[in-house]
Chain A
């Protein structure tokens, strides 16, 4: 399967703990995006990378959140000092900048539950 992959698929943590999620994009895709989705809502943009450069961050991305894409391939999203409000599905997507429509393909997501 050459689609976007995410690990872990599920994470349960206690409030105040740190968590890290990983995303592996489609291999030739140079753009990578993180979104968050809560129940009954559409995905909301968090941040995006072109190669290893983080080009945009949403206001939703508080200083407890950090994302990296050190070699322009996989990316990690870390949440420090988790809060119950962080419980959500975290989705990663990738795209190719030379695609005229820049279609984004999503991974299966990491479902986070903060107790």
Chain B
């Protein structure tokens, strides 16, 4: 089983749609969780950290379920500029290093 698994993509949605990405992780000792966004041929950029109680940043909502080892990202009212690959990321137990999922590509069309 891969350490971090994400929905295979791509997701094609119209502007204004709500889209949800799912992610599971295998290392129960993981302590930090993130969603990164990566535009084509660019570096990953932090979108948001994910906290146990769930957290929201504008149109973006992240949820964490430690018991199920499951992370989600919800994007509401999607914009053309949201088109990118979304990477689910966890740290490796007590280590600082990050483990990335393969990413899920989102394409928002007019």
Contacts and interface: CB of A to CB of B under 8 A. Distances in A.
A41 B102 contact: yes
Contacts of A56: 95, 97
Given A33-B97, A106-B43, A42 B32 contact: no
A69 interface: no
A108 B42 contact: yes
B32 A102 contact: yes
A101 B102 CA distance: 22
Interface string A35-48: 10000111111001
Interface of A: 31, 33, 35, 40-45, 48, 56, 91, 95, 97, 101-109
Given A31-B96, A97-B96, A102-B32, 12 more contacts: A33-B96, A41-B102, A42-B87, A42-B101, A42-B102, A45-B97, A45-B99, A48-B97, A102-B91, A105-B46, A107-B43, A109-B43
